[in-house]
């Protein structure tokens, strides 16, 4: 049922936001001439890597970096990138990931491989569900929380998953 919901809702949202996505892509590409879409390897269901899509918020790095820099500390962030991050519109291309089955609309956040490599065995259990960056479970900026807090929220989600929980996207449940 969850996968069927993901397919239907992602199709509807892609159609609904297609004009905005085209405008955003044009604005981002015009900003520095680089590709409007940023790709990054993330770890999804059962530890499978996938390519996640986002609108580019930063100028491309001159040299490759092994880890993603925190966006508020980098000087490469563009003017449109700040706005995209604040409004979460940078995440619209992830609807394609949802449609492909890489992610779910709601669920634990997909992590970068270097973070998953540091997981303890008990933390790897969070990879048993489809992933999606889900700010609603942790308040305004989940990505700024320590890894231990993120994992607590993920396990709360795994233990308590329901259509009702997925639909409560603006609430913040307790992880305990």
Mean pLDDT, range 101-123, rounded to an integer = 86
Residue-wise pLDDT tens digits, 28-68:
888 767 788 989 999 988 888 999 999 987 766 555 555 55
pLDDT in the model for residue 65: 57
Instruction: Report domain extents, the chain.
Output: 2-167
Sign of CA dihedral 150, 42, 73, 79: negative
- Mean per-residue pLDDT over the chain, rounded: 75
Residue-wise pLDDT tens digits, 126-157:
787 655 544 444 344 555 556 566 667 666 76
pLDDT in the model for residue 42: 93
Residue 57: is it exposed, middle or buried by C-beta count within 10 angstroms (0-12/13-18/19+)?
Answer: buried
Percent of the chain with pLDDT over 90: 22
pLDDT in the model for residue 144: 58
- Collapsed DSSP state (helix, strand, coil) of residue 148: helix
pLDDT in the model for residue 92: 94
pLDDT in the model for residue 67: 58
Task: Give the Cα separation of 138 and 38 in Å (integer).
Answer: 25
Q: Beta-strand (E) ranges in 12-168?
A: 37-43, 49-55
- Collapsed DSSP state (helix, strand, coil) of residue 32: helix
- Collapsed DSSP state (helix, strand, coil) of residue 52: strand
Cα 158 to Cα 106, 127, 143, distances in angstroms: 11, 10, 18
- Collapsed DSSP state (helix, strand, coil) of residue 171: coil
């Amino acid at each position: 049922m969850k996968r069927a919901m993901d397919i239907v809702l992602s199709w509807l949202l892609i159609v609904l936001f297609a004009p905005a996505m085209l405008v955003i892509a044009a604005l981002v590409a015009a900003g520095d001439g680089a590709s409007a879409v940023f790709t990054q390897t993330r770890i999804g269901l059962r530890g499978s890597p996938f390519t996640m899509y986002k609108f580019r918020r930063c100028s491309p790095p001159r040299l490759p970096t092994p880890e993603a820099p925190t966006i508020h500390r980098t000087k490469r962030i563009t003017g449109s990138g700040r706005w995209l991050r604040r409004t979460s519109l940078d995440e619209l291309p992830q609807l394609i990931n949802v449609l492909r089955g890489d992610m779910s609309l709601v669920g634990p956040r997909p992590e970068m491989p270097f973070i998953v490599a540091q997981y303890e065995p008990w933390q790897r259990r969070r990879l048993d569900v489809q992933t999606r960056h889900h700010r609603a479970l942790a308040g305004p900026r989940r990505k700024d929380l320590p890894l231990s807090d993120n994992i607590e929220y993920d396990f709360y989600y795994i233990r308590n998953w329901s259509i009702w929980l997925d639909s409560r996207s603006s609430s913040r449940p307790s992880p305990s």
